[in-house]
Amino acid sequence: MTDTSSVSNQSPLLISEQVVRNTIVIVSLIIVVVILRIIIMRALRALVDKGVLSARGLEIIIRLVDLIAFLVTVSVTILLFSPQFWVVLALLGILAFILYIVLFDVIKPYIAGLAIQINPVFKSRSLDIILPEHEGAISGRLVKIDAQYLVVQDVFGNEYYIRNDAALSSIIKITPIYVQLIVEVNYKCSDKSIVDKVNAIIRELEATKIPLFKEEVEVNLLEMSSTGVKLALKLFPLSTPIRQTELLKAIGTIIETIKSLSEEDCVLENVAVKIPGVL
């Protein structure tokens, strides 16, 4: 016959011993996690001092380490105090689902920021970033990579904050810093002289010297008809950001250059210069 009284008397003692043992395990785990975090932090700071890793990259990695340490501690705590294995799996599944729903959108920029830190494309002086939801490319100098955003300063000094995950999934082109202009020229020319006149305009613009801009001017033909032509110009400034007065002088030089090509057999009636997205 089983002595139920002895079993009932021993059960509270066994439970208390188990609680003490589990508590010791959890405290030990926290101590180990803290020590590992300190070691990782020192190792990463050494990489920052050597220039291998940036300060923002260090911040991103430490936040990810903290998140992983939290999940490990919670998981071990549940495993130690749960009497049934299926309860552990259910709780871990619920916790993982909640973290995925609540934190995924928050964590994603940090993970993308870490990928950006080691991506050689983002070490370039200037970039064209083409986002699906943004009309046209965001062009300019990459001035800052934050834990969640990267900052691009365009040629006029405007700053654009782009989430790291959006930047990482966008189309990236490494380009020099430039000002894009759209030049529209209306003319009255004979059919035989139109092509020659358009070619003359392009050659003259490519050879034009504009103050405070580099000598090379990139000219692309966009549209051409019997009454007019539309050209895309790229001017490369010597320094940024450029001032409005500098840009107005450049536009004036372009208009004067084109108007000087007007002749009796091909009269240039109107010249308009626009900045895409500005004018």
Checking if the pLDDT of 257 tops 80, the result is yes
3-class state of residue 214 by DSSP = strand
Cβ proximity of 208 and 235 under 8 Å? no
Length in residues, the chain: 279
pLDDT value for 230: 93
How far is C-alpha 163 from the geometric centre of its chain's CA atoms?
6
Checking if the pLDDT of 168 tops 70, the result is yes
Average pLDDT over the chain, rounded to an integer: 80
pLDDT value for 45: 85
Tokens of residue 125, six digits: 């002086």
In Å, how far are 188, 192, 194, 234 from 265, measured between CA atoms?
A: 8, 10, 10, 29
* CATH hierarchy code of domain 122-174: 2.30.30.600
Checking if the pLDDT of 6 tops 60, the result is no
Mean pLDDT of 207-228: 88
Mean pLDDT of 77-102: 67
Share of the chain above pLDDT 90, in %: 5
* CATH hierarchy code of domain 179-274: 3.30.70.360
Residues 4-118, CATH architecture: Orthogonal Bundle (1.10)
Window from 63-77, 147-161, 218-232, 237-251 with minimum mean pLDDT: 63-77
How does pLDDT run across 136-157, given as a tens digit for each residue?
788 888 888 877 788 998 888 8
> How many whole angstroms separate alpha carbon 213 and alpha carbon 191?
35
Q: Where does the chain hold its CATH 2.30.30.600 domain(s)?
A: 122-174
> In the structure, what pLDDT confidence band is assigned to residue 10 with cuts at 50, 70 and 90?
very low
How far is C-alpha 270 from the geometric centre of its chain's CA atoms?
41
> How many whole angstroms separate alpha carbon 137 and alpha carbon 132?
10
Q: Which is nearest to 181 in space by CA: 208, 162, 143?
A: 208
The two beta strands, 149-153 and 138-145, are: antiparallel
pLDDT value for 3: 47
Q: Where does the chain hold its CATH 3.30.70.360 domain(s)?
A: 179-274
3-class state of residue 187 by DSSP = strand
In which residue are the tokens 């007007």 written? 262
Checking if the pLDDT of 63 tops 70, the result is yes
DSSP string, 136-177: S-EEEEEEEE-SSEEEEE-TTS-EEEEEHHHHHTSEEEE---
Q: Where does the chain hold its CATH 1.10.287 domain(s)?
A: 4-118
> How many whole angstroms separate alpha carbon 32 and alpha carbon 191?
83
Which segments of the chain are extended strands (E)?
Answer: 126-130, 138-145, 149-153, 159-163, 171-174, 179-189, 213-224, 228-237, 266-274
Amino acid at residue number 32: V
pLDDT value for 232: 92
How big is the CA angle at 278 (ends 272 and 279), to the nearest 5 degrees?
30
pLDDT value for 182: 92
Instruction: Output 78 or 181, whichever has higher pLDDT.
Output: 181
HSE-up (13 A, CA, CB side) for residue 13: 5
Helices (H) and strands (E) in the chain, counts: 6, 9
Instruction: Output 80 or 102, whichever has higher pLDDT.
Output: 80
Instruction: Output 220 or 132, whichever has higher pLDDT.
Output: 220
Beta bridge mates, 98 = none
> In the structure, what pLDDT confidence band is assigned to residue 231 with cuts at 50, 70 and 90?
very high
